[in-house]
Chains A and B, each alone.
Chain A
Amino acid sequence: MNISTLSRRSSVMRGLKRRSGRVALYGALAFWTAVVYLPLYWVLITSFKAPVAVAQGTMLPWIDFQPTLAAWKALFTGIQSTALIRAYLNSILVSVGSALITTFIGAMAGYGLNRFTYKIGPMHNDDIAFWFVSQRMLPPVAVVLAYFLLYQNLGLLDTRFGLGLAYVGFNLPLVVWIMRDFFSQIPKDIEESAALDGASPWLIYWKIALPLAMPGLAAAFLLSLVFSFNEYLFALILTTQKAGTFPIMLASQVTGDSIRFWILSALALMNIIPAAAVMILLEKFMRRGLLVGSVK
């Protein structure tokens, strides 16, 4: 066996290996795509089903059931439509607004906790970070009454501002923790040289650290948005007519004598739209991290 056949064989092997790698990759992706889309498919077809078709568990439009727009019509032209649109806008406003604020101040705190040394009483950086995350440990059911009384006294009941403020409080711990870690991944040498050139800490943060942490920032924003958008218990107790949110509309489809699966499904699809839109917008920022190497 000479050297040339050996190398040829090894290159064939490598090609085979690469091809089987591709097959495995696409196989795994296809499997998970099926896992993700089966329930979503069910949501989609359910929103076009008549109640009978839902109860019978039919699977294929036009083949075993006749699709209908009844649920969507009921949503947009029915008696709930005004309330629905208001609730949708409230949810978008409250969740986007609170996610922006949370990400903004949460990222600052995450950066601070990574780059500076603090000492508040007996608490050092790690303790402060742990204190932040511990604020997400009490289940909402334990604090909702306290919030109700607090907001009653502050006149914040049934206001979008009040609800958004509560959501900032909920999500800050997540953002602080996530961002603290993302900043620790970023090499400090650029910041150090900028500091030597006399740049202020704020300028360094804003112009150097923050852009490099873009993937983390985008992820943290997305998480805050999703958590706020789907929050139910606080929205239920803290709002009435004006500031009611989308999850309340969703829950309202389950009445004493009916579960309106078809409307619930239509609402569930509407529920995805804001976060999905934000995600598509942010997707390119999530890749920005690839530039880290080239900046250096």
Chain B
Amino acid sequence: MNARKKQSGTLFLAPAASLMLVLSIFPLFYSLALTFSDMRIAAQEVHFVGLDNWKRLFSDARFGATLINTFVFVVVGVTAQFLLGLALAVLLHQEFRGRRFFRISFLLPMMMSPVAISFVIGKLLFSEGVGPVTHLMQALGMGPLLWSRSALGSTMLLIAIDTWQWVPLFIVILLAGLQSIDGEVQEAARVDGASRWQTFRYVTLPLLMPLCTVIILIRSLEAFKIIDIIRVVTGGGPGSSTESITTYAYTMGIKNGEIGYATTMAYVLLIAMTIYAVLFLKLARRVSNWKYSDNTPKEVSP
């Protein structure tokens, strides 16, 4: 590698990397320090408490439950969003009349405020007293829909709202990915007599796989932090069956003021997410038979 190339390589990475470093280093270490303190909102004095927060966390049964709830939200929700998003992106990639309308329409949910949509879907559309969904179910003779008193019902509703909002994320990225894939390969496959499905399965999908991995991971990281819709729609109930780590940390830290303890939870979430990300990338590499390092460049040989 020549010196000039190395230098310009540095110039490409430097702005983002240095900004990221500057913005993240203080919060990261400050937060880490907080996990060893009894910091409270508006506390007059702060003490070093060693591993107290960590010990408390591991004996906190409620935290274990929130960890499981969070995994359910991530695994079920993101899987549903990915499958729907992929299917819709493939549909929108076809040539047909009115494509522009559908493309724009399908992305709209992502632009809604999560808080507003939680109120409208969770509190109005699915209102158990007067919501249209209840009316519809009663008209069909199914009786009222009592989701709020069942853990499963509440979880399903939250996942449905989350899915409604975030399928567009998969659509926009995967559609852009499909657009970027070289069309010639697919055409060649078709000429060779492959069916549409075979072309998709054996040509398009493998090419799209790296992007799928990226976007599933990114969406998962967001889903791990699910908070707004839970706060609005179920408040974590019934019981604590829809409480996520972030809502629990929010309740503990912001509402109850126990910043030290809440930050410890957030750190456990960070560790859980890191493990998830590493395992997921490993798995994705195996599934798609996509060698991760292929993504990094070969030396350009003159």
- Are A166 and B23 touching (Cβ within 8 A)? yes
Query: Within 8 Å CB of A161, what residues of B?
Result: none
Please indicate the chain A residues that have their CB under 8 angstroms from the CB of B49 in the complex: none
Give chain A's interface residue range (CB within 8 Å of chain B). 35 or more
* Closest partner residue, chain B, to A278 (CB atom): B111
Interface residue B277 (Cβ < 8 Å from any Cβ of A): yes
Contact A139 B269 (CB under 8 A): yes
Q: B5 contacts the other chain (Cβ, under 8 Å)? A: yes
Q: Are B17 and A137 neighbours in the complex by a CB distance under 8 Å?
A: no
Q: Could you tell me the distance between the alpha carbons of A220 and B81 in the complex, rounded to whole angstroms?
A: 18
Task: Produce 1/0 per residue, A134-149, CB < 8 A to B.
Answer: 1111111111011101
| Residue in A125, A147, A283 whose CB lies within 8 Å of B27 | A147
Chain B contacts for A216, CB-based, 8 A? 173, 176-177, 180
User: How far is the CB of A29 from the nearest CB of chain B, in Å?
Assistant: 5
Chain B 47-70: CB-based contact to A (< 8 A → 1; otherwise 0): 000000000000000000000000
Interface string of A237-269 (1 = CB under 8 A from B): 000000000110011001000010100110110
Nearest A residue to B29 via CB reads A146
Given the known A-B contacts A29-B102, A133-B221, are A139 and B12 also in contact in the complex, defined by CB atoms under 8 Å?
Answer: no
How close is B283's CB to chain A, nearest CB, in angstroms?
A: 15
Query: Does A1 make an interface contact (CB < 8 A)?
Result: no
B210 to chain A, nearest CB (A): 5
Cβ–Cβ contact A117 & B24, under 8 A: no
Contact of B116 among A43, A180, A283 (CB under 8 A): A43
- Is A289 positioned at the interface, with any CB of B under 8 Å from its CB? yes
A contact residues around B293 at 8 Å (CB): 126
Cβ A178 vs Cβ B173 within 8 A: yes
Q: Report if A174 contacts B (CB, 8 A).
A: yes
- Interface digits, A193-206 against B, CB 8 Å rule (1 contact, 0 not)? 00110001110010
Q: Quick one: CB contact mask for B173-185 with A, threshold 8 Å, 1 for yes?
A: 1011101111110
Task: Write the chain A residue with the least CB distance to B96.
Answer: A25
The interface stretch among A3-11, A70-78, A79-87, A222-230 is A222-230
B80 in contact (CB, < 8 A): no
- Please measure, in the bound complex, the distance between the C-alpha atom of A229 and the C-alpha atom of B13, giving whole angstroms: 26
Check A109–B295 contact: CB distance below 8 A.
Answer: no
Whether B202 sits at the interface, judged by CB under 8 Å, is: no
Q: Which residues of the partner chain A approach B28 to less than 8 Å between Cβ atoms? A: 138, 143
CB atoms of B12 and A279 under 8 A apart: no
Output the nearest chain A residue to B297 by Cβ-Cβ distance.
A115
Tell me, rounded to whole Å, the shortest Cβ–Cβ distance linking B202 to chain A.
Answer: 18
Q: Are A126 and B292 in contact (CB under 8 A)?
A: yes
Contact status of A286 and B179, CB under 8 A, knowing A139-B249, A142-B263: yes
Please measure, in the bound complex, the distance between the C-alpha atom of A11 and the C-alpha atom of B290, giving whole angstroms: 39
Q: How many pairs of A and B residues are in contact by the CB < 8 Å rule? A: 319
On whether the beta carbons of A25 and B249 are closer than 8 Å, the reply is no
Assuming the contacts A139-B266, A141-B254, asked whether A286 and B17 have C-beta atoms less than 8 A apart, the reply is: no
| B264-299 interface bits toward A, Cβ cutoff 8 Å, 1 = contact, 0 = none | 001101100110010000000000000011011101
A251 and B115 contact, Cβ closer than 8 Å, known pairs A126-B293, A219-B172: yes
Distance, CA A205 to CA B250, complexed state (A): 43
Q: Which residues of B contact A261 (CB under 8 A)?
A: 119-120, 123-124
User: Are B180 and A186 in contact, with the CB atoms below 8 A?
Assistant: yes
Task: Report if B142 contacts A (CB, 8 A).
Answer: no
Q: Which residues of A have CB within 8 Å of B182?
A: 187, 292-293
B109 at the interface (CB under 8 A from A): yes
Question: Nearest Cβ distance between residue B4 and chain A, in whole angstroms?
Answer: 8
B262 at the A interface (CB under 8 A)? yes
B140 contacts A by Cβ under 8 Å: no
Q: Which of A57, A229, A287, A293 has the most CB of B within 10 A?
A: A57
Flag B71-115 by CB within 8 Å of A: 1 or 0 each: 000000000000000011001001010001011111111111111
Whether A138 pairs with B249 at a CB distance below 8 angstroms is no
Contacts of B222 in A (CB 8 A): 136
Say yes or no for A184: interface residue by CB 8 A criterion: yes
Chain A residues positioned under 8 Å from B210 (CB to CB): 181, 184
**Contact (A36, B109) CB under 8 Å given A46-B124, A109-B15, A165-B23:** yes
- Kindly state whether residue A163 has any CB partner on chain B within 8 Å: no
Q: Are A118 and B13 in contact (CB under 8 A)?
A: yes
Inter-chain contact A57/B135, CB cutoff 8 Å: yes
Any chain B CB within 8 A of the CB of A55? yes
The 7 closest A-B pairs by CB, nearest first: A112-B12, A142-B266, A116-B9, A57-B130, A289-B179, A109-B16, A268-B116
14 new A-B contacts at CB < 8 Å, known A43-B116, A116-B12, A117-B296 = A42-B124, A59-B132, A109-B17, A116-B297, A145-B34, A178-B214, A185-B177, A185-B181, A202-B11, A205-B12, A216-B177, A230-B113, A289-B180, A293-B183
A-B contact pairs, 12 of them (CB 8 A): A39-B117, A57-B124, A108-B16, A109-B16, A115-B12, A141-B250, A188-B300, A201-B12, A268-B120, A271-B116, A287-B179, A293-B184
